[in-house]
Amino acid sequence: MTVDLRISGGTVAIPTGSVTADVLVNDGRIVGIVDPALDTEARRTIDATGRYVLPGMVDVHVHTREPGYEYKDDIRTTSEQAAAGGVTTIFGMPNLKPATTTAALLSDVFEQYAQTSLVDYNHNPAATQSGEIAGMAAQGIRAYKVYMVVDTGRDYPHPAGTGMHDHGDLLRMMDEITKTGLRFIIHPHDQSLMDYIEKQYLDRGENTPQGYAQAYAERNGVIWDTAIDVVLRLAEASGCPVHIAHMQTKRSIDAVRRAKIRGIDVTCEVNHWGPFLSTWDDVERLGPYALSYWVPDEGREAIWEGLRDGTIDICSSDHAPHTREEKEIGWTEMWSCHTGTPGIQYYYPLLLDAVTKGKLTLERVTDLVAFQPAAKFGLESSKGAIEVGRDADLVIANLDSPWTIANDGVLSKTGWTPYDGRTINAAIEHTLVRGEFVLEDSKVVGVAGQARLATPR
């Protein structure tokens, strides 16, 4: 048998651990994980000696900004960053213009992915119109999304049509989604509490990065904890599989841990800023460029514990690019600033760097970025692991290659990263999507339009 590609000499991260083996690829799928001594002809061989062969990241939380905000990023530039960061599948988010709230709009978005993405894709439409739920499921989505938030002082990044705050509406929507068997991604937020808390800060004139950071973490993260308690109880009442975004408080992580023990079908995620960009020093030094959110030390310690013990199922980037102009206003008017930070290009490398520092095991990282997101979002037949029969979505990484992240290497249209100047030990050298190189020798080589909708096989 002659195969298309042989990746030889590397340490291969399979679900049961790491092995020294060669990976054989043919027709876009993994057809063998074999002894290096096995004589098999290949049309191309890549020497991975001294490198790790890893599953590509399945990133279920990505803001592509297209349509409507292409000046920040678009599907093509987002997928280029994905390729550079070892991400082989992206799930886009619905906070677009127009927001993805109907089956017709979802169809339009899928068409744009098909034309321009370098990596495989899906999309999480907003579950705010019950009459659209079945039609969106029929198009092959793997999840829905809703925000329990209304922006104060701005109309983005949570535009009209994507929010749901009334508990009755949430339960009604969970009942509808339960019929599809799909997962419901929820951005937790107690809006009435936040209205009260924000007003106090704004009345005191604390419209600054520090004020904003403290407001969202006020009273040990009460706006997150109460919202997550509600989500968990409604999930239990409806039987709806839920996925909670932006985990960041100890109490919330403990609540999810207990909910899992009770048998509630809940998964949760930590985004790049949680473990790597959430200290008070980050807020003081980078101001609006670090926000997303400030996570006090207790919360950050709980994040690392949850990553290690399995309470946190998934690492997804929450890639959220904004221009410098949209960030600069935040130094003096933080509530008018577009919050969120770009992250898809560097999250997997940062996690692999954490492996080199002993904070996580390699097996745990590949579980967080690949195996679990594929399994929990119904892609376990094709994505998420280096196993015979699955798509050859592969990353070849060097875990002993110190380099410094810099703005001049950023592939986002925004041209900046909050990690500028940070030195890490892990470098991604090659990324393959279904056996095709989209990153080769650290250069993006993927072709727009070669991607496919990620659905179960």
pLDDT in tens, 17-56: 999 999 999 999 999 999 999 999 999 999 999 999 999 9
- pLDDT given at position 152: 56
Cα torsion at 404, 409, 414, 417 (round to 10°)? -10
What number is the average pLDDT over the span 150-175?
A: 82
- pLDDT given at position 154: 60
Q: Strand pairing partners for 377?
A: none
What number is the average pLDDT over the span 182-198?
A: 96
Other beta carbons within 10 Å of 151: 17
More confident residue, 353 or 152: 353
Q: Strand pairing partners for 428?
A: 397
315 lies in which domain range? Answer: 56-376
Statement: residue 340 has pLDDT above 60:
yes
Statement: residue 200 has pLDDT above 90:
yes
- pLDDT given at position 151: 60
- pLDDT given at position 153: 59
Number of domains in the chain: 1
Classify the C-alpha dihedral 295-297-302-305 as positive or negative. Answer: positive
Residue in 64, 8, 67 with CA at minimum distance from that of residue 394: 8
Output the 3-class SS for 305-374. HHHHHCCCCEECCCECCCCHHHHHHHHCCHHHCCCCCCCCCCHHHHHHHHHHCCCCCHHHHHHHHHHHHH
Other beta carbons within 10 Å of 204: 9
What number is the average pLDDT over the span 283-293?
A: 98
- pLDDT given at position 364: 98
**Domain contains 77:** yes
| Residue labelled with tokens 């909708």 | 453
**Domain contains 413:** no
Q: How confident is the model at residue 449 (pLDDT cuts 50, 70, 90)?
A: confident
**Domain contains 283:** yes
Q: How confident is the model at residue 195 (pLDDT cuts 50, 70, 90)?
A: very high
- pLDDT given at position 158: 77
| CA-angle at 344, arms to 339 and 346, nearest 5° | 110
**Domain contains 67:** yes
What number is the average pLDDT over the span 366-386?
A: 98
**Domain contains 213:** yes
Statement: residue 155 has pLDDT above 80:
no
**Domain contains 251:** yes
Compute CA distances 177 → 105, 122, 164, 224, whole Å: 19, 17, 14, 23
- pLDDT given at position 444: 98
Output the 3-class SS for 228-285. HHHHHHHHHHHCCCEEECCCCCHHHHHHHHHHHHCCCCEEEEECCHHHHCCCHHHHHH
- Give percent of the chain with pLDDT exceeding 70: 98
The number of angstroms, rounded, from the C-alpha of 235 to the middle of its chain's C-alpha atoms is 22
**Domain contains 22:** no
Q: What is the CATH number of the domain that holds 110?
A: 3.20.20.140
Q: What are phi and psi of 327, to 5 degrees?
A: -85, -40
**Domain contains 241:** yes
The number of angstroms, rounded, from the C-alpha of 29 to the middle of its chain's C-alpha atoms is 24
